[in-house]
Structure formats: structure tokens, C-alpha cells
Structure 1
């Protein structure tokens, strides 16, 4: 009997169970200690191998997800095997009732955890039968939580891209959306967009917090990148909030709500995933919109207000860079 194997096996098993429950069920907890390190390490390895602008980085999300699931399998399997190794007679060969070796022990714990029900070997009556039954139960729980986690993460990825498309469909810069939303008198045509965008960003924030692996899913095109969509939307909110002379030409409540949702989104990302950029992105140019007859404040006043948003905009740029895209800038020929 080896107490070292007991301790190591029990520790690994409990650690893995905690990490699985932490990651899949604890909404406010984010990723567990094992999942967080596996995800970050996998991302660093792939990024270093491919480079930051490689289109193959769109595969990082699935790779990180599979690496996380595989780490759970390995740690659970290793922990259970070590625990059984604490007693050399804990498992015997069904044909001759003799103790088995390490390879057979790995085989036994594997088909126990994955509930295959193969009877080549059998646990010693009593305590080890209970341990085997417990392992099968944990295996079923693990498979169920793992499958549901994959489904939830993939669903969240779809939501990310759907949100980005809802913004980029109107324009890839705030100026383009301003032009689309101006009816000659006001911007109330944008009310539905702002209402939906605020709800979508709040949902996206919660999903990033609940499923941290979501951050490693990158879109190949900026039109489907949520970070780019948020950047465009925030520039639009900045113009609507600070740039318009007639405050009644826009729904101020929706603008405030959307800006608040974006702020929460940025706080969530920068607290766990994103490092704010050291520089500030290009500022929105309201002079492009003057000839449309939109009543704007003086450009100097608008720029002074933008000075107060420097840190917020650095977070936005950091999020865009973290998603392997460039800041959405108005093309010169437009």
C-alpha cells in the first residue's frame, strides 16, 4: 500500500472535478485554474508558431477548447489511476484473480470513467467497488458537462458573429452609420439598432465571463469580429453623445444605456483577457458629416470631450488588436 499514490491520485481527481465544475457551472468564476492555464498556454504556443496576423488563428478557438477538454481527461484519468495504485490488489484480473500492472490499471480506470462497461478486470470487493462506481458516476457527469459546455461555447461564438454582422451591415465606420441613420431631421432611425445592440453587448459580456474560452475564437474578417463591431458602435455613441448640438435629435436614454453596456464589456475583457493599448486609436472625424446638414458642436469642443475618453478608447483598441484586427478607419476615397 502506497499512501503517496493515494494522496496524489485523490488530489488530482478532486482538483480536476473542481476545475470542471468551476469552468462549466460557475458563471461568475470564469475559467478554473487548470482550464485558464491550458487555454492561455495553448494560445501562446499557437500564436508564436503562426504569428499574430495568420489567418489560421481562426482555428485557435477550437484548438483551445479541445486542449481544455483533453486536459480534464488526462488529469481525471491520471488521478483515478494513481488512487487505485495505492493498493496493488485493488483491481484483479477476472480470469485468474491476480493483481494487475500499470498498463492494465490505466485500461481499467479508462473504461470505468468513460462507462464502457468492459469486464476484463474487477475491483476488490468492498471499498474498491464503491470507488469504481463513484468513478463511473463522475465519468457520466464529466461527459455531460463537457458536451453541454461545448454547445454553449459554440452558441456564444455564433452570437458574437451575429452581433458583429448587425453592426457592420450598416457600415464599417461610425461615419457610415451616421449617414445611414440621418433622415434629414434626427437619428431616431437608429433607435432599434441601439436597443438591440445594448442587449447584445450585455449578453456578450455575460458570455465572455461565463465562457472565457470564447475570447480565443477569432473571426477571419473584421465584419464578423465582435471587438471591431463594439469599436464602431462606441465611436458612433461618442459622436451622438458629444458631437450633436441638438440633443433631441437622438434618443439620449438609449445612447447612455449602450455606452454603459460597452463600458461593462470593456471592463470584463480588460480584467481577464485584454491589455489596453498604449496608444489611442484614430478619432472619429465629424468634419466628413458637416455637408449633410447635421448640427454639430464645434470641432474644438468635440475634441476636448474626446480627451476625457482616452483610457476607454485605449481599451477598445486593445480589444481590437487582441482579436487580431485593425482599428476600423474611414477610407480616404470615401
Structure 2
């Protein structure tokens, strides 16, 4: 089907955000529908029309489901498609930096086709000798962060212990990803005692992505001049009132350096990151585990599953294969 603008009109399946969320997100907070889209970028615009191939499910998307979002992340708009990191193929472009056939990654819509106008975050994919889905996980430094942090730490010579929520994930950390040890936090009645078991002399570095009781236990077990990098606090995202952390005085007495960051702080280092990581991947020194959900219809279930630990590895939604 064509229209007066010269482009082909096609059906466009979409995952729509229903309304603002309190508590844990549910599949019913989203719904799948079909609209139409013109496969031609508007004449005279800098827009890029893409076919989405892979979408990333990330915990921060729960933050964007709230009426008042935090941390500089804008809230989703009820009645519109969700947005997030994706890998896509350019079908048409009004922007001089992109041409049909280019493979790209960046922020896109949860839909089959997206017309992207804000393309500041859109990047061309140069290396296609690795799976394209890696560009919304391993090669975007986003999602399933813990499995990568531990492997990078091992490459730098650290003793690494991971915390996970099932025996399957503990076995994965120890037997496939090369962690020195790992434990199931759901089976530990006393996190303080568990950490003392694995770190009898204390913790030098903690990568924080959990918050709450875990952070409280870690603070007690940090060594003097220890460092805590704060990337996320997934245990707190679904709470109407976040949990208080009781052991913050440890920051003083142990002179701990604790600093938050987001990936946006370091986009300027992305070329250097690729230069460092690509050889590790090609040489098999970094192992990456993905959990792929097939089709847009599976996207709500996949996203909600993040908050019950249903996924093993980076959660990806396969929209189409290139």
C-alpha cells in the first residue's frame, strides 16, 4: 500500500504503556496493538525510519513508569509506545549521517518500526562479527550488568564473589562466568554473616545494583578506604516508600568512597570501551549470557519478569531477525 507521500504504508505492531504504575509492574500495565506507519522519513526532516530488531528490557524502565520519574529519566506517556534501548536497521533517512541499510543501536520505540527524530543517542554498528543483540547489553554497558562487572574485575586480578537469587544463577556465576564464588541471597538468613564468610578480611570494592538490606550488610563489611560504585538499586524501584539504610555511619569511620553514576556520564568513552572489550569477546575472555523472548507479544512478560528474577542473563526481546 502506498500513499500520496510516496512511502509504503505498513502495519506496525506496538507495545503501549497503559497508565502510571505503583508497586510492582504487571503485564496488564502494557498492551499490544497495531497501527500503521509510512516507511518514508518526512521530506526535509532529519528523522530516521528504522525497523527494530532487538529491544532491551532494563530495570530503569520501571522508574519511567512512575508519574514522577527521578534521576533525569523522563516518564513514559500513557497511550504511547514504551521506549528503550534497541538495535535496528535503517530503512529511510533524512539525516546525512545515516543511510538505508545501516545497522544502529540507541533509544527506539517498543514497536516493529520507529520514526526517530531525537537521534543524539543513535550510533552506527561497526562490528558485525558479534551478535547484534550484544549492542543493547554487553556492548552498550547496559543490562545484566553484574555478570560483566564480575568478569571485568577478574580480568583485572580481583577476587570476585557474586550474589544471585537462585541456585541456577549461582552455578552460572561460578561455573560459566568464572567468579571465585557466589551465594544465593534468598537462602541467607543473615547477610552480614554471609559476607563475613566470603570476605573474612572485608570488602575492598562493591558494585551496587541492589540497595536496601544488601547495601546495609555490605557497609558493615567494607574495609577502610573501600569503594562503592552505585549503578542501581533494583530492590527499591517497586516500593512506594524506599527502605532506609541504617549503617551509613560506616562511610565516615571507614572513610569509604561511595559514588553514583549512569552510563550517560561515559558515552564519550564508548570508542575506547569498544577497543578494550571487542578483543575480550573475540578471544572468549568475556562470556555473555542472554535470555531471549521471541516477538513483541512477549515483551510485557519479559519486562515484568525482571522484578521476580525470572530471566537468566540479559533479557532481550527479539522483534525481527536481520
TM-score normalised to the size of structure 1? 0.21
TM-score normalised to the size of structure 2? 0.21
- Bigger CA radius of gyration: 1
Q: Which structure's residues are more often helix, by fraction?
A: 1
Q: Which structure's residues are more often strand, by fraction?
A: 2
